[in-house]
Amino acid sequence: MLDKRLMRKYILVLLISIPSLAMAQQSPLYTQYMLNDFVINPAIAGSKPFFPLRLNAREQWEGLGSFAPSTQSLSFHAPVGDGRVGLGGLIFQDNTDPTSNMGAMFTYAYHVNLPAIESKISLGISGMIYQYKLDQSTIVFHNPDVNFEGGVYSEIVPDAAFGSYLYGKNYYVGLSIYQLFESTFREALTFDYGDNIGVRHYFGMAGFTAEINKSLHLEPSILVKTIDAGPMQLDINTRVIFNRKFWTGVSLRTDRSVVALMGMNVGNFHLAYGFDYTLASIANHTAGSHEISIGVNIPDPKKRRHVYYWRY
């Protein structure tokens, strides 16, 4: 049996550490962001030649049980009017027992033509609302401590995100910031442990498509992620696209992860799968992470995004 004070310290350290195990545990992690980049940059709302509706589900670190993060999201965005304005929305749920995070995001983006370089540039802003929750009843104690017995602590907080996006026929560059307000929610276990503060998340993305021949395209891309006073993570990605319908690819992350990607767009139907495998020490306890994306690319009858090529 663990000493009572030792158990208290262990549980406290564990709960505090969960958000920092991966940068995305304050903000949900997405492996297939290059296929639904709207989830990491609000300026992308309305930039596609279709209206993408996406349902995404991710099960991280298989084998760790309820301790492992589980994320689900539903997103949609489209241009309105003459296409200068894009609107979008996202709802998500992110669980990592004993904590959970669910929320919604509503987005406005404005797009401007740059005919001199056959491109467009857009700026986007998102309003967000989150509910953070700690369910203390899911914690099992060998030596019960009154400070940890029962109870559900929750807090609803607002926040915002901002993004910019430059895109052309076969390239894109974007920058975005999430959790702009760095909202504070005092829920922890008791007020004795102080505040929990959301930290700003920064994303930088870039990519282009090279046509090898009419039926074969290569799409390299990068994503840089960092937080205030935190480490930077780099994703290096490559997709090989066949007949503009099927693709496979690989991503390498500086957190010592390797990701395999595959998917297809048949008609207006979208289906993609990603498998993450970590080379870090946690690999001794998990069989990897799985992510699936299902969606529909609703045709835009006005074809308002002529500059944006067929990229999925």
Q: What are 257's strand-pairing partners?
A: 253, 278
User: What whole-number percentage of the chain has pLDDT above 90?
Assistant: 47
Mean pLDDT score of the chain: 80
**What is the average per-residue pLDDT within 36-56?**
93
Residue 5: pLDDT over 50: no
Residue 10: pLDDT over 50: no
Farthest CA pair distance, the chain: 72
Q: What are 197's strand-pairing partners?
A: 184
Our measurement of the distance from residue 150's CA atom to the centroid of its chain's CA atoms, rounded to an integer in Å, reads 31
What pLDDT band is residue 193 in, cutting at 50, 70 and 90? very low
Residue 87 CA to residue 42 CA, distance in Å, equals: 9
What local confidence, expressed as pLDDT, does residue 27 receive?
Answer: 61
What local confidence, expressed as pLDDT, does residue 147 receive?
Answer: 58
pLDDT tens, position by position, 143-172: 665 655 567 777 888 999 999 999 998 899
Token pair in block for residue 128 = 């967000």
The length of the chain, given as a count of residues: 312
Hey, what domains does the chain have and what are their CATH numbers? 4-299 (2.40.160.40)
Half-sphere exposure of 165 (CA within 13 A, CB side): 27
Residue 18: pLDDT over 70: no
Q: Do residues 71 and 24 lie in contact, with contact meaning Cβ atoms separated by under 8 Å?
A: no
* 3 state SS for the chain: CCCHHHHHHHHHHHHHHHHHHCHHHCCCCCCCHHHCHHHHCHHHCCCCCEEEEEEEEEECCCCCHHHCCEEEEEEEEEEECCCCEEEEEEEEEEEECCEEEEEEEEEEEEEEEEHHHCEEEEEEEEEEEEEEEEEHHHCCCCCCCHHHCCCEEEEEEEEEEEEEEEEECCEEEEEEEECCCCCEECCCCCHHHCCEECCCEEEEEEEECEEEECCEEEEEEEEEEEECCCCCEEEEEEEEEECCCEEEEEEEECCCEEEEEEEEEECCEEEEEEEEEECCHHHHCCCCEEEEEEEEEEECCCCCCCCCCCCC
Residues 6 or more apart from 162 whose CB is under 8 A from it?
A: 42, 123, 124, 125, 126, 176, 177, 180
What local confidence, expressed as pLDDT, does residue 183 receive?
Answer: 74
pLDDT tens, position by position, 164-190: 999 998 899 999 999 898 876 654 445
Instruction: Tell me how many degrees the CA angle 71-232-280 measures, rounded to the nearest 5.
Output: 65
Residue 116: pLDDT over 70: yes
Q: Do residues 94 and 100 lie in contact, with contact meaning Cβ atoms separated by under 8 Å?
A: yes
pLDDT tens, position by position, 58-98: 887 665 665 667 889 999 999 998 889 999 999 999 887 77
Nearest alpha-carbon partner for 249 in 278, 282, 217, 287 = 217
Please name the amino acid found at residue 54: R
Residue 292: pLDDT over 80: yes
Residue 255: pLDDT over 60: yes
Half-sphere exposure of 59 (CA within 13 A, CB side): 11
Q: What are 176's strand-pairing partners?
A: 163, 203
What local confidence, expressed as pLDDT, does residue 301 receive?
Answer: 87
- Comparing 286 with 72, the larger pLDDT belongs to 72
Instruction: Tell me how many degrees the CA angle 127-128-134 measures, rounded to the nearest 5.
Output: 165
What local confidence, expressed as pLDDT, does residue 150 receive?
Answer: 61
